[in-house]
Amino acid sequence: MSSNVVIPVRFKNGHPLCLYGGELPALGDCIADLILPEESIRDRTLLDKLREEKEVIIQTSGASLLIALRLKNVPQALRTLTFQLEAGKTDPPGDFAFVQLTLKENLILRLRGTKDAELRDVKCSLPMLGQQASSINHAYTLVSTKLEPNRRAHSGNVFDLVYFLDNEVWRPLRTLRDQAEAEFEKRFRMS
């Protein structure tokens, strides 16, 4: 995996130049983020699209989701509070212990212009632990705190660690987020 480099840039008459002088270096094919003050964008229609927000329901109330924990992090004595899935039932596969989470409300993904999407808070329950949570992140923290007592931090990326059922295969929420973002990005397509 390659690492990123930041090139400080200034614009003069709409033309990018290296901040410290000279032209930009020759670049290969790549995708980059250009971070600008809003007032520098003269096309108001484009600016509105860049700032547009939308909320979409990605799972409905009553749906069961699974919180994935690395099996090696769960002490043997606590594994009775988890279960494992048979091989081929998760994507990506791995040695995970799972805890069920039940949604008490619709799970809503907030698409925020060109910023990273985020999950709205949602009431949910953790039947195996007999606890309630106020969000998916809160549920993950509760589960990790209880079942991974030796971890120093009890947070994680729920888009990668919480799974939904899709045609008999459990997939990470990242899948739904990526699909929603791809659909949302269509507003930029030129006709």
Q: What are the structural domain ranges in the chain?
A: 9-52, 55-186
Q: CB atoms < 10 A from the CB of 90, how many?
A: 19
Going by C-beta distance under 8 Å and a sequence separation of 6 or more, which residues neighbour residue 67?
Answer: 98, 99, 100, 101, 139, 140, 143, 161, 162, 163
Question: What pTM was computed for the model?
Answer: 0.83
pLDDT in tens, 92-125: 677 889 999 999 999 999 999 888 999 999 999 9
**Distance of alpha carbon 72 from alpha carbon 92, whole angstroms:** 17
Residue-wise pLDDT tens digits, 19-32: 888 888 888 998 88
Reduced to 3 DSSP states, what percent helix, strand and coil does the chain have, rounded to the nearest 5?
Answer: 25, 30, 40
Q: CA 67, CA 84: separation in Å to the nearest integer? A: 11
| pLDDT-based confidence at residue 12 (cuts at 50, 70, 90) | confident
